[in-house]
Amino acid sequence: MVRKIPTAVAAFDSIIKGGVPEGSLIMLLGEPGAGGLEFAITSASKLSIARKNPERRPIIIGGYNDDTYIPSGTSYISLTRNEWEVKRLVSLTVNTDLYTSFFDNFRMRDLSPLYFKNSSVPRSWVSSGSIFGQVEGKDILEEIVKFLNENGNDRVVIIDSLTDLITSPQVDQNVLIDVIKGLEKVSKKWSSIIYLILTEGIADRRMEQILYDIVDGILVFKWYSSEKYTIRFRYLYVPKFIGVLAHIEEERVLRFQTKVDYNEGFIVTYTERIR
């Protein structure tokens, strides 16, 4: 039996019958600020709360069934942010409770010195000179694989970001495709969910379609504006998701209206259905 791992976005989990299949490789594809990164932060934070506080599980993940599994912690790979910057980002996104939970049993691989080592960015802007010396001769994709081999199982894995990997002159795109294909295969052996964050419109059409084909699920985060309203709305779409999309179609869901709340993180505020 394939267990389910909740995303911990409660209204979304209620539609997809409790969560996503463990071992899912999920692309969070979105317009800037539309909620992709916030979804990942919320998921990791609230799963951590549910893991440590069984009495709060009914509120956070809607209960705990025999086929529900909660990973033991979070593994975070950052291409351009160091740990201090990640902590600052999370603190500005969610409240203290969610922030503290996000960093409980947290492991991080900061690849920013390696990412920027051959760029025109001054070393003093990125890190200390001594750290730059430690990355000589290392390869970004090899370092990602090494970290995941040691820290990928039984985790909420966040790769921040696929956008940085696609736009880096250091990363061979064919090798990147092979690594993602391999990650999709090995993830089925892990009790994890893996989030790949990608900004919409960055990858060319060919690369985009290859990535769509590899991953298990795609969550699309978009902005919507109308002449009738003075504010913009965020929406979540699910164009592909093995083991999940059937439930969404059964519920006749067209899209999810969402928002990012400082105290609740990423939440679904309204579910639009096909009439």
pLDDT tens digits, 182-196: 999 999 999 999 999
* Closest of 192, 230, 257, 234 to residue 25, by C-alpha: 192
Q: Does domain 4-273 have CATH number 3.40.50.300?
A: yes
**Mean pLDDT across 78-106:** 97
Distance (Å, whole) CA 206 – CA 190 = 29
pLDDT band at residue 67 using 50, 70 and 90 as cut-offs: confident
Strands (E), 22-102: 24-30, 73-78
- How far out from the chain centre does Cα 50 lie? 18
**Mean pLDDT across 129-155:** 82
**Mean pLDDT across 100-118:** 95
Tokens (6 digits) for 27:
């692309």
- Rounded alpha-carbon distances, angstroms, from residue 244 to 16, 18, 193, 222, 241: 6, 10, 14, 20, 5
pLDDT tens digits, 221-240: 999 987 777 788 999 999 99
263 SS3 class: coil
**Mean pLDDT across 52-81:** 88
Domain-by-domain residue ranges, the chain? Answer: 4-273
